[in-house]
Structure 1
Amino acid sequence: MVSFSTLLKDVRSCRHCLAHLPHEPRPVVQIHPDAKILIAGQAPGRKVHESGIPFNDASGERLREWLGIDREKFYNPKLVAILPMGFCFPGTGKGGDLPPRPECAKLWRERLLAQLQQVELTLVIGKYAQDYHLGGARLSVTDQVRAWQQCWPSIVPLPHPSPRNNIWLRRNSWFESELVPELRKRVSELI
Protein backbone atom coordinates (compact mmCIF):
# COMPACT_ATOMS: atom_id res chain seq x y z
CA MET A 1 0.00 0.00 0.00
CA VAL A 2 1.25 3.47 -0.92
CA SER A 3 1.76 5.93 1.94
CA PHE A 4 -0.51 8.94 2.26
CA SER A 5 2.32 11.38 1.48
CA THR A 6 3.29 9.44 -1.66
CA LEU A 7 -0.34 9.27 -2.80
CA LEU A 8 -0.78 13.01 -2.31
CA LYS A 9 2.47 13.72 -4.18
CA ASP A 10 1.26 11.51 -7.05
CA VAL A 11 -2.09 13.33 -7.18
CA ARG A 12 -0.48 16.76 -7.19
CA SER A 13 1.87 15.78 -10.01
CA CYS A 14 -0.85 14.10 -12.13
CA ARG A 15 -0.73 14.95 -15.84
CA HIS A 16 -3.26 12.38 -17.01
CA CYS A 17 -5.68 14.91 -18.57
CA LEU A 18 -3.05 17.13 -20.20
CA ALA A 19 -4.39 16.47 -23.71
CA HIS A 20 -7.95 17.39 -22.63
CA LEU A 21 -7.28 20.66 -20.79
CA PRO A 22 -6.86 24.15 -22.24
CA HIS A 23 -3.94 24.77 -19.85
CA GLU A 24 -1.30 22.98 -17.80
CA PRO A 25 -2.79 20.59 -15.23
CA ARG A 26 -2.75 21.92 -11.67
CA PRO A 27 -4.53 19.49 -9.36
CA VAL A 28 -6.06 21.36 -6.44
CA VAL A 29 -6.96 19.28 -3.37
CA GLN A 30 -6.70 19.70 0.39
CA ILE A 31 -6.58 16.49 2.37
CA HIS A 32 -5.22 15.01 5.58
CA PRO A 33 -6.15 11.73 7.29
CA ASP A 34 -7.26 13.62 10.45
CA ALA A 35 -9.92 15.71 8.65
CA LYS A 36 -13.38 15.67 10.26
CA ILE A 37 -15.20 17.37 7.38
CA LEU A 38 -15.03 16.47 3.69
CA ILE A 39 -16.10 18.96 1.05
CA ALA A 40 -16.81 17.15 -2.21
CA GLY A 41 -17.24 19.77 -4.90
CA GLN A 42 -17.23 19.94 -8.68
CA ALA A 43 -13.86 21.18 -10.00
CA PRO A 44 -11.66 24.23 -9.46
CA GLY A 45 -12.61 27.39 -11.30
CA ARG A 46 -10.20 29.66 -13.16
CA LYS A 47 -9.29 31.74 -10.08
CA VAL A 48 -8.63 28.62 -8.02
CA HIS A 49 -6.52 27.20 -10.86
CA GLU A 50 -4.43 30.38 -10.83
CA SER A 51 -3.95 30.47 -7.04
CA GLY A 52 -3.79 26.71 -6.38
CA ILE A 53 -5.95 27.27 -3.28
CA PRO A 54 -9.37 25.54 -3.20
CA PHE A 55 -12.41 27.82 -2.91
CA ASN A 56 -10.17 30.90 -2.99
CA ASP A 57 -12.88 32.95 -4.68
CA ALA A 58 -16.38 34.35 -4.16
CA SER A 59 -17.78 30.79 -3.97
CA GLY A 60 -15.42 30.05 -1.11
CA GLU A 61 -16.45 33.18 0.76
CA ARG A 62 -20.09 32.13 0.57
CA LEU A 63 -19.31 28.52 1.49
CA ARG A 64 -17.34 29.62 4.57
CA GLU A 65 -20.28 31.84 5.52
CA TRP A 66 -22.67 28.89 5.20
CA LEU A 67 -20.36 26.80 7.40
CA GLY A 68 -19.81 29.58 9.92
CA ILE A 69 -16.02 29.19 9.90
CA ASP A 70 -13.11 31.46 9.11
CA ARG A 71 -10.35 30.96 6.52
CA GLU A 72 -7.92 29.63 9.12
CA LYS A 73 -10.16 26.70 10.04
CA PHE A 74 -11.37 26.17 6.49
CA TYR A 75 -7.82 25.85 5.17
CA ASN A 76 -6.64 23.58 7.97
CA PRO A 77 -6.42 20.16 6.25
CA LYS A 78 -6.55 18.43 9.63
CA LEU A 79 -10.09 19.83 10.00
CA VAL A 80 -11.40 20.16 6.44
CA ALA A 81 -10.58 18.00 3.42
CA ILE A 82 -11.50 19.44 0.03
CA LEU A 83 -11.73 16.84 -2.68
CA PRO A 84 -13.51 17.94 -5.86
CA MET A 85 -14.76 15.49 -8.46
CA GLY A 86 -12.20 16.90 -10.90
CA PHE A 87 -8.92 18.24 -9.52
CA CYS A 88 -8.01 20.58 -12.38
CA PHE A 89 -9.88 23.51 -13.92
CA PRO A 90 -11.66 21.93 -16.91
CA GLY A 91 -11.95 25.13 -18.93
CA THR A 92 -14.88 27.33 -19.87
CA GLY A 93 -17.82 26.65 -22.14
CA LYS A 94 -20.83 28.68 -23.27
CA GLY A 95 -22.69 28.47 -19.94
CA GLY A 96 -19.72 28.70 -17.57
CA ASP A 97 -17.09 26.22 -16.49
CA LEU A 98 -17.06 22.84 -18.21
CA PRO A 99 -17.95 19.70 -16.21
CA PRO A 100 -15.18 18.11 -14.15
CA ARG A 101 -12.97 15.72 -16.08
CA PRO A 102 -14.07 12.15 -15.19
CA GLU A 103 -10.53 10.77 -15.01
CA CYS A 104 -9.83 12.14 -11.52
CA ALA A 105 -12.62 10.17 -9.89
CA LYS A 106 -11.57 6.98 -11.67
CA LEU A 107 -7.87 7.35 -10.92
CA TRP A 108 -7.80 8.87 -7.46
CA ARG A 109 -11.09 9.24 -5.63
CA GLU A 110 -11.44 5.88 -3.88
CA ARG A 111 -7.78 5.83 -2.84
CA LEU A 112 -8.04 9.34 -1.37
CA LEU A 113 -11.38 8.68 0.33
CA ALA A 114 -9.87 5.58 1.93
CA GLN A 115 -7.43 7.90 3.72
CA LEU A 116 -10.28 9.85 5.36
CA GLN A 117 -11.25 7.55 8.22
CA GLN A 118 -12.02 10.41 10.65
CA VAL A 119 -14.61 12.22 8.48
CA GLU A 120 -17.93 12.70 10.26
CA LEU A 121 -19.54 15.15 7.83
CA THR A 122 -19.45 15.12 4.04
CA LEU A 123 -20.74 18.13 2.13
CA VAL A 124 -21.66 17.24 -1.44
CA ILE A 125 -21.76 20.33 -3.60
CA GLY A 126 -23.48 20.26 -6.97
CA LYS A 127 -24.80 17.60 -9.30
CA TYR A 128 -21.60 15.66 -10.07
CA ALA A 129 -20.62 15.26 -6.43
CA GLN A 130 -24.19 14.43 -5.41
CA ASP A 131 -24.52 11.73 -8.06
CA TYR A 132 -21.23 10.16 -6.94
CA HIS A 133 -21.65 10.39 -3.18
CA LEU A 134 -25.40 9.81 -2.96
CA GLY A 135 -25.51 6.70 -5.09
CA GLY A 136 -26.37 8.28 -8.39
CA ALA A 137 -29.82 9.23 -7.14
CA ARG A 138 -30.31 11.33 -10.27
CA LEU A 139 -32.44 13.86 -8.47
CA SER A 140 -32.13 17.50 -9.39
CA VAL A 141 -29.84 19.54 -7.16
CA THR A 142 -32.88 21.35 -5.78
CA ASP A 143 -34.67 18.10 -4.90
CA GLN A 144 -31.50 16.60 -3.43
CA VAL A 145 -30.84 19.67 -1.26
CA ARG A 146 -34.50 19.88 -0.24
CA ALA A 147 -34.21 16.30 1.06
CA TRP A 148 -31.11 17.15 3.14
CA GLN A 149 -32.52 15.62 6.33
CA GLN A 150 -32.52 12.13 4.76
CA CYS A 151 -28.72 11.86 5.09
CA TRP A 152 -28.32 14.09 8.13
CA PRO A 153 -26.04 14.36 10.10
CA SER A 154 -23.28 12.60 8.13
CA ILE A 155 -23.96 13.89 4.60
CA VAL A 156 -25.37 17.23 3.50
CA PRO A 157 -26.12 18.01 -0.15
CA LEU A 158 -25.57 21.66 -1.05
CA PRO A 159 -26.07 23.83 -4.11
CA HIS A 160 -22.93 25.36 -5.52
CA PRO A 161 -22.09 28.52 -3.55
CA SER A 162 -21.26 30.43 -6.73
CA PRO A 163 -22.64 33.94 -7.19
CA ARG A 164 -24.22 32.47 -10.35
CA ASN A 165 -26.67 30.73 -7.99
CA ASN A 166 -28.11 33.93 -6.50
CA ILE A 167 -31.41 33.35 -8.33
CA TRP A 168 -31.59 29.78 -6.96
CA LEU A 169 -30.99 31.09 -3.43
CA ARG A 170 -33.75 33.70 -3.80
CA ARG A 171 -36.20 31.08 -5.11
CA ASN A 172 -35.28 28.64 -2.35
CA SER A 173 -35.16 30.86 0.72
CA TRP A 174 -35.75 27.81 2.94
CA PHE A 175 -32.14 26.82 2.27
CA GLU A 176 -30.60 29.72 4.19
CA SER A 177 -33.35 29.87 6.83
CA GLU A 178 -33.61 26.12 7.58
CA LEU A 179 -30.56 24.19 6.39
CA VAL A 180 -27.73 26.70 6.91
CA PRO A 181 -28.32 27.23 10.67
CA GLU A 182 -28.32 23.47 11.25
CA LEU A 183 -25.21 23.08 9.11
CA ARG A 184 -23.39 25.74 11.15
CA LYS A 185 -24.28 23.96 14.39
CA ARG A 186 -23.04 20.63 13.01
CA VAL A 187 -19.76 22.14 11.77
CA SER A 188 -19.26 23.87 15.12
CA GLU A 189 -19.67 20.53 16.93
CA LEU A 190 -16.94 18.98 14.79
CA ILE A 191 -14.34 21.72 14.91
Structure 2
Amino acid sequence: MATQALSALLKEVRACTLCQEHLPHGPRPIVQINRSAKILIAGQAPGNKVHQSGVPFDDASGDRLRDWMGIGKETFYDDTQIALLPMGFCFPGSAKSGDLAPRKECAPQWRNRLLAHLPNIELTLVIGQYALAWHLPDSANTSVTGHVLDWQKNWPTVLPLPHPSPRNAIWLKQNPWFSTDVLPALKAQIQHILKK
Protein backbone atom coordinates (compact mmCIF):
# COMPACT_ATOMS: atom_id res chain seq x y z
CA MET A 1 0.00 0.00 0.00
CA ALA A 2 2.74 2.48 1.03
CA THR A 3 4.85 1.52 -2.00
CA GLN A 4 1.86 2.07 -4.30
CA ALA A 5 1.22 5.47 -2.72
CA LEU A 6 4.84 6.49 -3.30
CA SER A 7 4.69 5.27 -6.91
CA ALA A 8 1.55 7.35 -7.49
CA LEU A 9 3.19 10.40 -5.90
CA LEU A 10 6.33 9.97 -8.01
CA LYS A 11 4.15 9.82 -11.12
CA GLU A 12 2.69 13.19 -10.11
CA VAL A 13 6.16 14.64 -9.41
CA ARG A 14 7.54 13.51 -12.77
CA ALA A 15 4.58 15.07 -14.58
CA CYS A 16 4.87 18.37 -12.70
CA THR A 17 4.76 21.57 -14.76
CA LEU A 18 4.18 23.96 -11.83
CA CYS A 19 6.99 26.38 -12.76
CA GLN A 20 7.24 25.54 -16.45
CA GLU A 21 7.01 29.19 -17.51
CA HIS A 22 10.10 30.01 -15.42
CA LEU A 23 12.29 27.14 -16.62
CA PRO A 24 14.33 28.08 -19.71
CA HIS A 25 14.95 24.43 -20.57
CA GLY A 26 11.53 23.13 -19.56
CA PRO A 27 10.56 20.88 -16.66
CA ARG A 28 12.41 17.63 -16.02
CA PRO A 29 11.95 16.69 -12.35
CA ILE A 30 14.91 14.61 -11.14
CA VAL A 31 14.63 12.69 -7.87
CA GLN A 32 15.66 9.32 -6.44
CA ILE A 33 13.54 7.86 -3.66
CA ASN A 34 12.66 4.49 -2.16
CA ARG A 35 10.99 3.76 1.19
CA SER A 36 13.99 1.61 2.20
CA ALA A 37 16.55 4.42 1.83
CA LYS A 38 18.70 5.06 4.90
CA ILE A 39 20.56 8.19 3.75
CA LEU A 40 18.92 11.34 2.38
CA ILE A 41 20.85 13.85 0.28
CA ALA A 42 19.06 17.19 0.33
CA GLY A 43 20.71 19.26 -2.37
CA GLN A 44 19.90 22.45 -4.27
CA ALA A 45 18.65 21.77 -7.82
CA PRO A 46 19.95 19.88 -10.86
CA GLY A 47 22.48 21.63 -13.07
CA ASN A 48 22.35 21.70 -16.86
CA LYS A 49 24.42 18.51 -17.29
CA VAL A 50 22.09 16.64 -14.93
CA HIS A 51 19.07 18.10 -16.72
CA GLN A 52 20.45 16.66 -19.98
CA SER A 53 21.24 13.19 -18.59
CA GLY A 54 18.33 12.87 -16.17
CA VAL A 55 20.73 11.35 -13.61
CA PRO A 56 21.13 13.20 -10.29
CA PHE A 57 24.66 14.38 -9.46
CA ASP A 58 25.92 13.12 -12.82
CA ASP A 59 28.61 15.81 -12.88
CA ALA A 60 31.79 17.03 -11.17
CA SER A 61 29.79 17.95 -8.05
CA GLY A 62 28.56 14.37 -7.83
CA ASP A 63 32.09 13.01 -8.20
CA ARG A 64 33.25 15.17 -5.30
CA LEU A 65 30.21 14.31 -3.17
CA ARG A 66 30.74 10.58 -3.68
CA ASP A 67 34.39 11.06 -2.72
CA TRP A 68 33.34 12.90 0.44
CA MET A 69 30.97 10.03 1.27
CA GLY A 70 33.52 7.33 0.48
CA ILE A 71 31.20 5.45 -1.90
CA GLY A 72 31.04 4.66 -5.60
CA LYS A 73 28.31 5.23 -8.16
CA GLU A 74 26.79 1.77 -7.65
CA THR A 75 25.98 2.53 -4.00
CA PHE A 76 25.13 6.18 -4.65
CA TYR A 77 22.50 5.28 -7.24
CA ASP A 78 21.02 2.41 -5.20
CA ASP A 79 17.69 3.96 -4.23
CA THR A 80 17.18 1.35 -1.51
CA GLN A 81 20.16 2.93 0.27
CA ILE A 82 20.22 6.59 -0.78
CA ALA A 83 17.43 9.07 -1.52
CA LEU A 84 18.23 12.20 -3.55
CA LEU A 85 15.72 15.02 -3.07
CA PRO A 86 16.97 18.46 -4.11
CA MET A 87 15.11 21.59 -3.04
CA GLY A 88 14.11 22.15 -6.64
CA PHE A 89 13.62 19.11 -8.88
CA CYS A 90 14.27 20.89 -12.19
CA PHE A 91 17.22 22.84 -13.60
CA PRO A 92 16.33 26.49 -12.86
CA GLY A 93 18.63 27.97 -15.51
CA SER A 94 21.98 29.72 -15.41
CA ALA A 95 22.91 32.99 -13.74
CA LYS A 96 25.99 35.15 -14.29
CA SER A 97 27.87 33.07 -11.73
CA GLY A 98 26.61 29.49 -11.45
CA ASP A 99 22.99 28.41 -11.61
CA LEU A 100 19.87 30.23 -10.51
CA ALA A 101 18.34 29.39 -7.14
CA PRO A 102 15.93 26.44 -6.95
CA ARG A 103 12.40 27.47 -7.86
CA LYS A 104 10.45 28.46 -4.73
CA GLU A 105 7.31 26.62 -5.81
CA CYS A 106 8.85 23.16 -5.71
CA ALA A 107 9.59 22.47 -2.03
CA PRO A 108 6.19 23.61 -0.64
CA GLN A 109 4.40 21.54 -3.27
CA TRP A 110 6.31 18.27 -2.93
CA ARG A 111 8.90 18.13 -0.16
CA ASN A 112 6.90 17.13 2.93
CA ARG A 113 4.80 14.70 0.92
CA LEU A 114 7.93 12.88 -0.32
CA LEU A 115 9.76 13.03 3.01
CA ALA A 116 6.77 11.28 4.61
CA HIS A 117 7.67 8.25 2.46
CA LEU A 118 11.17 7.99 3.96
CA PRO A 119 10.65 6.30 7.35
CA ASN A 120 14.13 4.72 7.55
CA ILE A 121 16.42 7.74 7.11
CA GLU A 122 19.31 7.65 9.58
CA LEU A 123 21.45 10.43 8.10
CA THR A 124 20.49 13.54 6.12
CA LEU A 125 23.20 15.40 4.23
CA VAL A 126 22.05 19.01 3.86
CA ILE A 127 23.88 20.69 0.99
CA GLY A 128 23.94 24.43 0.47
CA GLN A 129 21.99 27.42 1.75
CA TYR A 130 18.54 26.59 0.38
CA ALA A 131 18.52 23.08 1.81
CA LEU A 132 19.91 24.38 5.10
CA ALA A 133 17.12 26.96 5.36
CA TRP A 134 14.51 24.19 4.95
CA HIS A 135 16.06 21.43 7.05
CA LEU A 136 17.62 23.60 9.79
CA PRO A 137 15.19 26.54 10.00
CA ASP A 138 16.09 27.41 13.62
CA SER A 139 19.39 28.84 12.44
CA ALA A 140 18.20 30.55 9.25
CA ASN A 141 20.59 33.49 9.71
CA THR A 142 23.66 31.26 9.95
CA SER A 143 26.01 31.12 6.95
CA VAL A 144 26.83 27.86 5.22
CA THR A 145 30.30 28.03 6.78
CA GLY A 146 28.73 28.62 10.20
CA HIS A 147 26.51 25.58 9.78
CA VAL A 148 29.39 23.38 8.69
CA LEU A 149 31.61 24.64 11.54
CA ASP A 150 28.82 23.62 13.93
CA TRP A 151 28.47 20.22 12.21
CA GLN A 152 28.31 18.25 15.47
CA LYS A 153 25.15 20.06 16.62
CA ASN A 154 22.78 17.55 14.95
CA TRP A 155 25.30 14.77 14.35
CA PRO A 156 24.98 11.86 13.63
CA THR A 157 21.51 12.28 12.08
CA VAL A 158 22.02 15.54 10.14
CA LEU A 159 25.18 16.92 8.55
CA PRO A 160 25.35 20.35 6.88
CA LEU A 161 27.73 20.45 3.92
CA PRO A 162 29.05 23.09 1.55
CA HIS A 163 28.10 22.52 -2.05
CA PRO A 164 30.54 20.03 -3.64
CA SER A 165 30.78 22.17 -6.79
CA PRO A 166 34.24 22.77 -8.25
CA ARG A 167 33.42 26.47 -7.65
CA ASN A 168 33.94 25.78 -3.93
CA ALA A 169 37.60 24.75 -4.30
CA ILE A 170 38.70 28.01 -2.66
CA TRP A 171 36.38 27.40 0.31
CA LEU A 172 37.86 23.93 0.77
CA LYS A 173 41.41 25.35 0.74
CA GLN A 174 40.45 28.03 3.25
CA ASN A 175 38.77 25.50 5.58
CA PRO A 176 41.14 22.51 5.86
CA TRP A 177 39.36 21.36 9.03
CA PHE A 178 36.50 20.21 6.81
CA SER A 179 38.69 17.53 5.22
CA THR A 180 40.50 16.56 8.43
CA ASP A 181 37.57 16.58 10.89
CA VAL A 182 34.24 16.32 9.07
CA LEU A 183 34.92 13.97 6.15
CA PRO A 184 36.43 11.08 8.16
CA ALA A 185 33.39 11.16 10.49
CA LEU A 186 31.05 11.27 7.50
CA LYS A 187 32.70 8.31 5.77
CA ALA A 188 32.69 6.24 8.96
CA GLN A 189 29.01 6.97 9.64
CA ILE A 190 28.01 6.09 6.08
CA GLN A 191 29.86 2.77 6.26
CA HIS A 192 28.20 2.06 9.62
CA ILE A 193 24.74 2.74 8.18
CA LEU A 194 25.25 0.81 4.94
CA LYS A 195 26.57 -2.30 6.72
CA LYS A 196 23.35 -2.73 8.75
| Same fold flag (TM > 0.5) | yes
Structure 2 equivalent of residue 177 of structure 1: 180
Name the structure 1 match of 2:103. Answer: 101
- Matched-pair identity in %: 58
Q: Which one-letter code corresponds to 2:166 in the other structure?
A: P
Note the C-alpha offset of 1:136.
Answer: 4.7
Give 4+ residue runs of structure 1 displaced > 3 Å after superposition.
Answer: none
SS of match in other structure, 1:23: coil
Q: Give SS of 2:27's match.
A: coil
SS in 2 for 1:3: helix
Give 1:163's aligned amino acid.
P
What is the letter of the counterpart of residue 91 of structure 1? G
* Other-structure match for 1:166: 169
**1:130–1:136 Cα contact (<8 Å) kept:** no
Aligned length in residues: 191
Counterpart pick for 1:145 among 148, 151, 173? 148
Amino acid at match of 2:95: G
Distance 2:60 2:131 in 1: 20
Give the distance between the partners of 1:53 and 1:176, measured in 2 at CA: 27
Give the letter aligned to residue 125 of structure 2.
Answer: L
Aligned residue runs from structure 1 range 84-163, under 5 A: 84-137=86-139, 138-163=141-166
CA contact (8 A) 1:85 1:129 kept: yes
Query: What is the RMSD of the two structures over their aligned residues, measured on CA atoms?
Result: 1.0
The TM-score, its normalising length taken from structure 2, stands at 0.96
Matched to 1:82, the amino acid is L
CA distance in 2, matches of 1:135, 1:21: 27
Partners of 1:86 and 1:15 in 2: CA distance? 12
Query: Equivalent residue for 2:53?
Result: 51
Structure 1: give runs of 5+ residues left out of the alignment. none
Give the TM-score taking structure 1 as reference length.
0.98
